[in-house]
Amino acid sequence: MLNPKLITDAVVAQITKIPDLATAMTVLDSGGNPNVRITAFHYRLGAEHRLAEAIYKMPAPSILVAWEGTLGGNFSGYQVWKHRLGVYLRMGNAAGHTDPVGYEDLWWLLCNQAPQGTSSNLRYTNILPGLDIMDTPSIVHQLDEDQIDIFRGEFVIPEIGDN
C-alpha cells in the first residue's frame, strides 16, 4: 500500500496546477505576494490539529484536501486498495465582483480543467505511479459551525496491486 500522505500531497500538487482554479484560490498576502490557498491536511497527534477545526478555520477562498480512509478489497482483480480523499471547498467573497467564481464553477474547474503540463483533466490523470485513475468524483453541500456554505468533494483513487 502506498503512503496516504504521499497521495494527499500529490493530489494537492496537481490541483495547484489547474490554472483557473489556482487563480480563484489566490490572494495577496500583506506584502503583496500571491498566496495560493490549496493545502493538504495531515493528522498530527498533540498538535491541537483536528480535521473539523481545520475545515472551520479555512479562509475564503481555499481548498483543503484530507485523506479520510482506505478501503481494502479485491475490486477488479488488480486493485487491492482504494484511498478516499475529502476535498473541502470554501469560495471567496463574491461581493463586488462582476463575475464571481461560485462553488459550481470551482467543482467544474476541479473536475474538468487539465493541470498545467498535462493533457488530461484530474479525473483521467495517474496522480502517482502505482495509482489508477480515480473513480467518478462526488460532491455534497455542507454547513460549517457558523452555518456558512462549504462543499465537500470526494475522490476515491484505486491503487494498482499492493505496493
Q: What is the pLDDT of residues 64-107, one digit of tens each?
A: 999 999 998 776 767 789 999 999 999 987 766 667 789 999 99
List the domain range (segments joined by +) for residue 24.
4-160
The enclosing domain of 77 has a CATH number of 3.30.2000
Cβ neighbours of 19 (radius 10 Å): 13
pLDDT band at 126 (very low <50, low <70, confident <90, very high): very high
Whether residue 147 is predicted with pLDDT greater than 70 in this model: the reply is yes
pLDDT band at 160 (very low <50, low <70, confident <90, very high): confident
Res 22: pLDDT: 96
123 burial (CB, 10 Å; 0-12 / 13-18 / 19+) is middle
Euclidean distance between CA atoms 108 and 50, whole angstroms: 28
List, in order, residues 6 or more apart from 28 with CB less than 8 Å away.
34, 35
The helix/strand/coil state of 94 is: coil
Cβ neighbours of 16 (radius 10 Å): 18
Euclidean distance between CA atoms 159 and 75, whole angstroms: 10
Whether residue 125 is predicted with pLDDT greater than 80 in this model: the reply is yes
Whether residue 123 is predicted with pLDDT greater than 80 in this model: the reply is yes
Q: Quote the distance between the C-alpha of residue 36 and its chain's center.
A: 13
Q: What is the pLDDT of residues 17-66, one digit of tens each?
A: 999 999 999 998 999 999 999 999 999 876 667 899 999 999 999 999 99
Q: What angle do CA 45, 49, 55 make, to 5 degrees?
A: 145
Res 163: pLDDT: 66
pLDDT band at 2 (very low <50, low <70, confident <90, very high): very high
Q: How many domains is the chain partitioned into structurally?
A: 1
Backbone φ and ψ of 66, nearest 5°: -135, 135
